Amino acid sequence: MDVKTLLYRFASIAGDEARRNFIFDALGDLGYAPRVDTAGNVLAGDGPVWFAAHYDTVLLPTPVERREGRWYAPGIGDNSSGVVLLLALADPSLPVGFAFTTGEEGLGNLKGARTLLRRVKPQVFIAVDGYLGSLVGWAVGSERLEATFVGPGGHAWGDRGAPSSVYGLGLALASLYSLPLERDESLNVGRVWGGTAINAIPSEAGLWLDLRAKDPEVLARRSREARSLLAQAADRARVKLILRRLGYRPAGRTAPDWLLEVARDAYLEAGVEPEHRAASTDAAAAIEVGVPAVALGVYRGGGAHTASEWVDPDSLVIGLRVLKSLLRRLRERGWTG
């Protein structure tokens, strides 16, 4: 089956279990004896090099729509395209491992990649994820926190003047967004909640905070500052703060020079100009086990993480050329630098 047909079929499949089953069956058809590990990864093959593509999505996939040379569906690029290209690359005769991981998106906390790399610890790890030309040798780290402000609640008139959790939330939001950020970091409150009725003082309100930075020291410092600001907001509002860590991804360099060179040459051979960038991908998990890792993009498209996500299906043919070139070059080098 060619990659475009494979993408059209796979990108419309909704739900991790259904997507995992499709991958499992496709690997079996290729001659593998696939297995599913405790994290929900689908694994095939083994060797000094492991390729990985996450199959979980931010939004629930819907049937693919084809309009003016583009294919539209949530998750069709990120990362259905990566999955189908790994399926097209997979060959049981190769001494290479292929992992189709879960837990990369949302609050997954790199569960799939972390579980895989702790178990196999390969000599090289390749994450297939992102737009064609993207060459990621530096992981953007993240700290994700849930802050819940809890007060006594009460009647809007009868208990007027009582501590309000929403006041604590508002103070926290104003303080967080007043932080002077450096160029290579970000702060985002992605979700807020609280209250039950217009005439009731909310007893609970909260937020989800996502902090990101290229530098691990900057990330650690910003996390300490954010925690302090959240505590100060609770104190000023006279409410209780319940703080929970939702996830953490390490920051730092993942790819040595030799691996970046190999990946760059693979792009150039396929006629693609590589763009070095930092990003948050499965490759970040390799930092924790000391494995050289790089992430490569394999499709042209846009609208990732939205309902209008799209890809140019013809670009997958180029993406497959890139992966084949990379695989050949790694093999010629004896799989390592």
The pLDDT of residue 143 is above 80 = yes
Question: pTM to 2 decimals?
Answer: 0.94
What's at 311, amino acid-wise?
Answer: V
Q: Please compute the mean of the pLDDT values over residues 106-127 and round it to a whole number.
A: 96
Contact 152, 196 (CB under 8 A): no
**pLDDT of amino acid 291:** 97
Distance CA 113, CA 227 (A): 28
Range list of H helices, the chain: 3-10, 16-29, 82-89, 111-120, 165-176, 216-237, 257-269, 315-332
**pLDDT of amino acid 75:** 98
Cis omega (within 30 of 0) on the bond before 79?
yes
- Topology of 141-249 in CATH? Alpha-Beta Plaits (3.30.70)
**Given CA atoms 60, 62, 64, 70 in this order, what sign does their dihedral have?**
negative
Q: Are strands 301-302 and 65-67 parallel, antiparallel or unpaired?
A: unpaired
Distance CA 57, CA 12 (A): 12
| Average pLDDT value over all residues in the chain | 97
**Given CA atoms 97, 9, 307, 102 in this order, what sign does their dihedral have?**
negative
Residues 6+ apart with CB under 8 A from 115: 37, 38, 39, 41
Domain 3-140+251-332 and domain 141-249, same fold? Reply is no
Contact 96, 264 (CB under 8 A): no
Q: Are strands 42-45 and 96-101 parallel, antiparallel or unpaired?
A: antiparallel
Q: Please compute the mean of the pLDDT values over residues 184-200 and round it to a whole number.
A: 97
Q: What band does 1 get if pLDDT is binned at 50, 70 and 90?
A: confident
One of 1.10.10.60, 3.40.630.10, 2.40.30.10, 3.90.550.10 is the CATH number of 3-140+251-332, namely 3.40.630.10
Distance CA 256, CA 31 (A): 34
Distance CA 2, CA 314 (A): 11
Q: What band does 336 get if pLDDT is binned at 50, 70 and 90?
A: confident
Distance CA 82, CA 53 (A): 6
Q: What share of the chain has pLDDT > 70, as a percent?
A: 100
The pLDDT of residue 46 is above 90 = yes
Contact 72, 49 (CB under 8 A): no
**pLDDT of amino acid 117:** 98
Q: Please compute the mean of the pLDDT values over residues 81-87 and round it to a whole number.
A: 98
What's at 249, amino acid-wise?
Answer: R
pLDDT digits (tens, 9 = 90+) for 285-321: 999 999 999 999 999 999 999 999 999 999 999 999 9
Domain ranges across the chain:
3-140+251-332, 141-249
Q: Are strands 240-249 and 200-201 parallel, antiparallel or unpaired?
A: unpaired
